[in-house]
């Protein structure tokens, strides 16, 4: 017996109802707050605390980018010791972990700022800088170690 054999036509009626519900939910967002005014151009203004927090997070991201540039410079100028390049490898690992964590934090901050309607220019710049530095480090590492 099929899944809908005990009730003829059940399979098709259930499918049609599911499709209707899916289409309604696709084109209408029931979880979005309903606006009381007809003016669609009036966007909610972010609070002062959100603006202040956004500026603090932007400053943190710029400081993180400066730290990554300093670590990058130090790791490129570091020489190998007499027992191997362990110190240089540790600096590269520290840089990589810091860059990955900073990149994720910058993406989260940027998404939060865009959702709140705040200026996301600095966090976008931080994402771009960290991505560019990461790509440069990866290309340098591939050129000097893996593709030799």
Q: Give residue-wise pLDDT tens across range 31-89.
A: 445 555 544 455 568 888 889 999 999 999 999 999 999 999 988 888 877 666 788 88
The whole-number average pLDDT for the span 118-132 is 93
pLDDT, position 38: 47
Higher pLDDT: 139 or 37? It is 139
pLDDT in tens, 89-111: 888 899 999 999 999 999 999 99
What pLDDT, on a 0 to 100 scale, did the predictor assign at position 121? 92
Question: What integer pLDDT is reported at residue 43 of this predicted model?
Answer: 58
Q: Where do the structural domains in the chain lie, given as residue ranges?
A: 1-29, 48-146
Q: Does pLDDT of 9 surpass 80?
A: no
Contact 102, 72 (CB under 8 A): no
- Per-residue confidence (pLDDT) for residue 29, from 0 to 100: 47
- For the segment 6-20, the average pLDDT, to the nearest whole number, is 54
Query: In the chain, pLDDT over 90 holds for what percent of residues?
Result: 43
80: left (phi over 0), alpha (psi -120 to 50) or beta: beta
Distances, alpha carbon 86 to alpha carbons 33, 37, 69, 90, in Å: 56, 64, 21, 6
């Amino acid at each position: 017996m099929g899944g809908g054999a005990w009730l003829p036509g059940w399979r098709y009626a259930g499918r049609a109802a599911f499709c209707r519900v899916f289409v309604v939910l696709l084109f209408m967002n029931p979880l979005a707050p309903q606006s009381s005014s007809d003016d669609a151009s009036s966007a909610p203004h972010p609070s002062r605390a959100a603006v202040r927090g956004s500026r603090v997070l932007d400053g943190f991201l710029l400081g993180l980018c400066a730290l990554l540039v300093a670590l990058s410079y130090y790791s490129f100028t570091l020489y190998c010791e007499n027992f191997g390049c362990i110190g240089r490898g540790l600096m590269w690992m520290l840089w990589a972990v810091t860059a990955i964590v900073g990149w994720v934090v910058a993406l989260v901050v940027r998404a939060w700022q865009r959702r709140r309607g705040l200026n996301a220019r600095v966090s976008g710049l931080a994402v771009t800088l960290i991505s560019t530095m990461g790509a440069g480090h990866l290309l340098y590492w591939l050129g000097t170690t893996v593709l030799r």
